[in-house]
Structure 1
Amino acid sequence: MIVGAGFAGFECARTLSRLARGAAEIVLLNPHDYFLYVPLLPEVAAGILEPRRIAVSLTRNLPGTRLVLGQAHDVDLDARQVRYTDPEGEKGALPYDRLVLTVGSVNKLLPVPGVAEHAHGFRGMPEALYLRDHVTRQIELAGASEDPAERSARTTFVVVGAGYTGTEVAAHGVLFSAGLARQNAGLKDGPRPRWLLLDVADRLLPGLDERLSHTADRVLRSRGVDVRTRTSVKEATADGVLLDDGEFIHSRSLIWCVGVRPDPLVDSLGLPTDKGRLCVDKFLGVPGRPEVFACGDAAAVPDLTRPGEVTPMTAQHAQRQGKVAAHNVAASCGRGSPRAYQHHDLGFMVDLGGSQAAANPLHLPISGPLAAAVTRGYHLMAMPGNRVRVAADWFLDAVLPRSGVQLGLLNSWSVPLDTEAPELPRLPGGETART
């Protein structure tokens, strides 16, 4: 039983299926029927890629795995059962002999007044689709308004968190909104869309190589992004954002990218955790529970390359941990020997939109068009499907103008920041969507 089909869960299921060759039943429990390639989510929000391009079918790409649609809400470790709610609201329970928890993460919340009510995160497909519609709508409403103050507020976008996600959202967002504004006759005399990127750290991409940070900072500033380090939000309101230095930014758009926290299911297990992540050993097993394994964002995996630390919450680690977890599950059933997880990171890549990127593949720093080509090449290689469709969308975006329309499929209350399931939109009444 694998719970969650993110990078770790998908790779675990795929590897287990290959190892088992039909000798074991592999069950994958996930709220929806696709694997989401999260690194390209900013390109969906910016109108470059269509949503289904980064949604890879689980049933098509995992033919040896039985998919069960549902949101896990409880694990009975003694009875060896996972309880869940299916897409039509029915409750169910699934037994297991071996359990692999790869439930991932959700938006990280901070006790800032007004943020939960007025900000939106960027973890799942619904949030990306909402942001694309929201940015388009704000530009159109600004073009229709005759009030200069309203026009300025609607064309001001605030991104909090200058990590990997926040930097890419701002980089793609400023290009997307600028293109929409140029097409809008009501904004031919201005104002130009304004983007702010805030972080309490002293530089962009604080967890990555400083050379990547400097490249991203230079590119964003050259596009007019107002990058403010050592700056945080003191309060959020419907009219804007109050910064900790006392300045009030009039805006209708607050995008929360301050980081992630493990899925709340981890806390409900009653097992030892490290900063909310389930404690596991170097073989990805849960101490005292030989039938339970965990990896990805939900697990505090010892980093054997940096003794005393745990691996960071990145797709690079999650994908490789999923593969190791599959081998160790097989070993626990008598096939093969257990493997300790050890991986030296291969570098990181930050897509800055257009022909710009910052990357250090194999820790060799590059930037500009070369970095952009390497970054896109890496994504095509890492994606488990839809490669031709993604490449086709990139080609079309390079030669044709983007379609700046809002579909209106999601309202602001459909994608609350405080949610345990960012991959599912919320319905009226506060319930999570079942379809």
Structure 2
Amino acid sequence: MTVSDRPHRIVIVGAGFAGYHAARALSRKLRHDDVEIVLVNPNDYFLYLPLLPEVATGVLEPRRVTVSLAGTLPRVRLVLGEVHGVDLEKRRISYTDPEDRQGSLEYDRLVLSVGSVNKLLPIPGIAEHARGFRGMPEALYLRDHISRQMALASTEPDPARRRARRTFVVVGAGYTGTEVAAHGKLFTDSLARQHTDHHDEDPRWLLVDIAPRILPELDRRLSRTSDRVLRQRGVEIRTRTAVKEATSRAVVLDSGETVDTHTLVWCVGVRPDPLVHDLGLPTDNGRLIVNPYLAVPGHPEVLACGDAAAVPDLTRPGQITPMTAQHASRQGKTAAHNIAAALGHGKPRAYRHHDLGFAIDLGGVHAAANPLHIPLSGPVANLVTRGLHLSTLPGNRARVTNDWLLNAVLPRQAVQLGLVRSGSVPLDTTAPYAPLTPSHSRE
């Protein structure tokens, strides 16, 4: 079939928050036969990242936070593959499928929503010994690793080594790091009660950040509430502190303190997918420059959104929108609207969004939230937070609710499945959504 013979093809690269919502909106807006919507993604699911800490700590099963693309996106053709090249002149993308076969697709309209990967810093030992938290493999590895360390500690005769296995360090006190530490402390406390060989002090968790407070990018009231809950739970918060070096058995802080540990979780932030750099187009802090309509200057047929795009923030002139799921979801819908407008369905609109507030799930009955900028804490905030997740989760709502209810009355299931080894989830990876092959893994 030649380009002139086939339907008008819209290719969406990436099925994160931006890509998923772009595909869903387009499938609803464009129902006629002369338009083909193609979604290219390495996996056949949309990952609901905000609930990933609950997967890593045994609250939710992995399938609860993965939503089938084929099952929820009617009239969208799914192509499994990782895009590694875009030919802007020939309007063609190149990709590699899960069986390492090469493929290509021509497009008439392109939506780049490739998302982000772990952000690295030039700190000795970090790339070798830290683990990120951007994808399902990393969450599954962390759940197994925490369970393994607690089990090994229970039979370790040396007190210092036992204490090191029961010490967990999270670097980065943003949204993700704060939730990982909050849920992780509850998880290890639960595991400690199951292992009764030693009556040690409680498992130790440290949350480290160079910023003057945790959640520095959010409202101070959310920060204060989260700080109070974590400290009461026993999490040690080290603000204005950086990691100087990491080894396989310790973390050295810039204060000179050495923390013996077998667990270093890296949550310092994200950077755009390397595909953005490879395009050779103008960027802003690594993000692809677009206009308020999400179009790439000089290439009106190409739109970019989510973490990959430097979208002008019309509510804060001179700034770009932050990398949040809230912005990504709405930018995906705006991209779909503007593509439909270009095809004669409505009028294009610039992206403009005032944030509706944020919610931090702190585990148990605790949370911090400010819906519509009304500060909430405690059980009320927890209900609001869970209601927010259920309202924005595209599927599996009944299953997630059921897991939450069971977790409230039953002990957590803590078993090591051994599905993901440490070498399968290196920090320095361009594909946190896919573990490396077992032949390259190590523990």
- TM-score over 0.5 (shorter chain): yes
Q: Quick one: which of 263, 266, 272 aligns to 1:256?
A: 266
For the residues of structure 2 that align with 1:227 and 1:186, how far apart are their CA atoms?
A: 29
For the residues of structure 2 that align with 1:395 and 1:382, how far apart are their CA atoms?
A: 19
* Partner residue in 2 for 1:183: 194
* Partner residue in 2 for 1:422: 432
* Partner residue in 1 for 2:305: 295
Q: Secondary structure at the residue paired with 2:189?
A: helix
User: What per-residue deviation string (whole Å, max 9, x for no partner) do you get for residues 181-226 of structure 1?
Assistant: 1110223x11320000000000010000000000000000001100
On the 8 A contact 1:2/1:102 being kept in 2, the answer is yes
On the 8 A contact 1:121/1:127 being kept in 2, the answer is yes
User: What per-residue deviation string (whole Å, max 9, x for no partner) do you get for residues 339-377 of structure 1?
Assistant: 100000000000000000000000000000000000000
For the residues of structure 2 that align with 1:127 and 1:90, how far apart are their CA atoms?
A: 25
* Partner residue in 2 for 1:114: 125
Superposed displacement of residue 330, structure 1: 1.2
Q: Quick one: which of 142, 148, 159 aligns to 2:170?
A: 159
Map of 1:392-411 to 2, 5 A cutoff? Answer: 392-411=402-421
Tell whether 2:209 aligns with 1:209. Answer: no
Superposed displacement of residue 428, structure 1: 4.4
Aligned length: 430
Greater Cα shift, 332-341 or 224-233: 332-341
Tell whether 2:100 aligns with 1:89. Answer: yes
One-letter amino acid of the counterpart of residue 406, structure 2: L
For the residues of structure 1 that align with 2:186 and 2:20, how far apart are their CA atoms?
A: 33
For the residues of structure 1 that align with 2:169 and 2:431, how far apart are their CA atoms?
A: 24
User: What per-residue deviation string (whole Å, max 9, x for no partner) do you get for residues 53-90 of structure 1?
Assistant: 00000000001100000001111111111100001110
* Partner residue in 2 for 1:386: 396
For the residues of structure 1 that align with 2:197 and 2:120, how far apart are their CA atoms?
A: 37
* Partner residue in 2 for 1:28: 39
One-letter amino acid of the counterpart of residue 96, structure 2: T
* Partner residue in 2 for 1:13: 23
Q: CA RMSD of the aligned region, Å?
A: 0.9
On the 8 A contact 1:54/1:386 being kept in 2, the answer is yes
For the residues of structure 2 that align with 1:409 and 1:60, how far apart are their CA atoms?
A: 25
Map of 1:55-74 to 2, 5 A cutoff? Answer: 55-74=66-85
TM-score, structure 1 as length reference: 0.98
For the residues of structure 2 that align with 1:144 and 1:97, how far apart are their CA atoms?
A: 62
Tell whether 2:364 aligns with 1:345. Answer: no
Structure 1's unaligned 5+ residue stretches are: none
Map of 1:202-351 to 2, 5 A cutoff? Answer: 202-351=212-361
Q: Secondary structure at the residue paired with 2:312?
A: coil
On the 8 A contact 1:155/1:191 being kept in 2, the answer is no
Superposed displacement of residue 430, structure 1: 5.2
Q: Secondary structure at the residue paired with 2:275?
A: coil
* Partner residue in 1 for 2:3: none
Q: Quick one: which of 64, 78, 92 aligns to 1:53?
A: 64
One-letter amino acid of the counterpart of residue 50, structure 2: P
For the residues of structure 1 that align with 2:86 and 2:236, how far apart are their CA atoms?
A: 46
Change (3 A) 1:9 1:351: same
Structure 2's unaligned 5+ residue stretches are: 1-10
* Partner residue in 2 for 1:99: 110
* Partner residue in 1 for 2:135: 124
For the residues of structure 2 that align with 1:99 and 1:55, how far apart are their CA atoms?
A: 25
TM-score, structure 2 as length reference: 0.96
Superposed displacement of residue 333, structure 1: 2.0
For the residues of structure 2 that align with 1:346 and 1:229, how far apart are their CA atoms?
A: 27
One-letter amino acid of the counterpart of residue 397, structure 2: R
Q: Secondary structure at the residue paired with 1:346?
A: coil
For the residues of structure 1 that align with 2:126 and 2:430, how far apart are their CA atoms?
A: 16
Q: Which runs of 4+ in 1 moved over 2 A?
A: 428-431
Map of 1:347-386 to 2, 5 A cutoff? Answer: 347-386=357-396
On the 8 A contact 1:107/1:259 being kept in 2, the answer is yes
* Percent identical: 68
One-letter amino acid of the counterpart of residue 341, structure 1: Y
Q: Secondary structure at the residue paired with 2:384?
A: helix
For the residues of structure 1 that align with 2:346 and 2:134, how far apart are their CA atoms?
A: 36
* Partner residue in 2 for 1:169: 180
On the 8 A contact 1:356/1:367 being kept in 2, the answer is yes
Tell whether 2:145 aligns with 1:134. Answer: yes
One-letter amino acid of the counterpart of residue 290, structure 1: P
Q: Secondary structure at the residue paired with 2:419?
A: coil
Superposed displacement of residue 131, structure 1: 0.4
For the residues of structure 2 that align with 1:60 and 1:386, how far apart are their CA atoms?
A: 12
On the 8 A contact 1:350/1:358 being kept in 2, the answer is yes
For the residues of structure 1 that align with 2:197 and 2:202, how far apart are their CA atoms?
A: 12
For the residues of structure 2 that align with 1:429 and 1:403, how far apart are their CA atoms?
A: 29
